[in-house]
Amino acid sequence: MKSKNDYEQSGGKKGLRWIYILTFIVMAFTGFGQMPIFKRYYVSDIPGMGWSADFYLTHYIHYLGAIFLLGLFAYVIVDYVLSGRKELSLISSAYVRIALLGGIVTTGIFRVLKNMPDVVFSPDFTRFIDISHLGFMMLYIFLALVFLIMKSGWVVIK
């Protein structure tokens, strides 16, 4: 009988999982790089890391990562609905992560909209989406580490 870990570690899923983790690390790094901290705290002084203090560059990378993740999330959701749910069930920690990812994506979409020409949100809403995007991400990172220590995956085989 296959365990959930066997399923998540199998071929394509393992590859997808690592691509997801790497993309998320890049997103977290470039997201934090939107705050003026990398130059202050010598990160951009590390050889090869000078780019991290370029706000425009980290912003582009963050957008590229968002494009990739939006495609990946759409793929995974539709794949789960069409095929996965017949044999897999999401566990409770997956629901927590999905809710947080939903928060990150939703606030991220509004963040992107705000940056478009001719789109102006109210000052309070602008501040809300800016801070909640960071808040959702920090909570997600914290819980992802907790779930990693607990060895809690996303799915179980029915």
Partner 1 sequence: MTKDISRRSFIKGGLAAAGAIAASSVPLPATVRGATQEELATLIDIRKCIGCEACVEACQEVNGRKFPEPKKPFPKMYPNRVKVSDWSDKRDVMDRLTPYNWLFIQESTVKVNGEEETFTFPRRCMHCQNPPCADLCPWGAARKLKNGITRIDADVCLGGSKCKAVCPWHIPERQTGVGLYLDILPSFAGNGVMYKCDRCYDRVEHGKLPACIEVCPEKVQKIGPRDEILKEAYSISKEINGYIYGEKENGGTNTIYVSPVPFEKLNKTIKKGPGRPHLKPVEDSMAHADNLAKAMVIAPIAGIAAAVGKAYSSRSQGKAGL
Binding site for partner 1 (CB under 8 A): 34-37, 40-42, 55-56, 59-60, 63-64, 66-68, 70-79, 82-83, 109, 112, 114-118, 120, 123, 126-131, 134
Give the residue with the Cβ less far from partner 1, 113 or 146.
Answer: 113
> Closest separation between CB of residue 60 and partner 1, Å?
6
Give the residue with the Cβ less far from partner 1, 66 or 100.
Answer: 66
> Rounded distance, CA 155 to CA 158, Å?
9
CB 7 within 8 A of CB 154: no
> Closest separation between CB of residue 44 and partner 1, Å?
12
DSSP state of 50: G
Which string of DSSP letters, residue by residue, matches 60-119? HHHHHHHHHHHHHHHHHHHHIIIIIHHHEEE-HHHHHHHHHHHHHHHHHHHHHHHTSTT-
> Closest separation between CB of residue 150 and partner 1, Å?
29
Give the residue with the Cβ less far from partner 1, 37 or 148.
Answer: 37
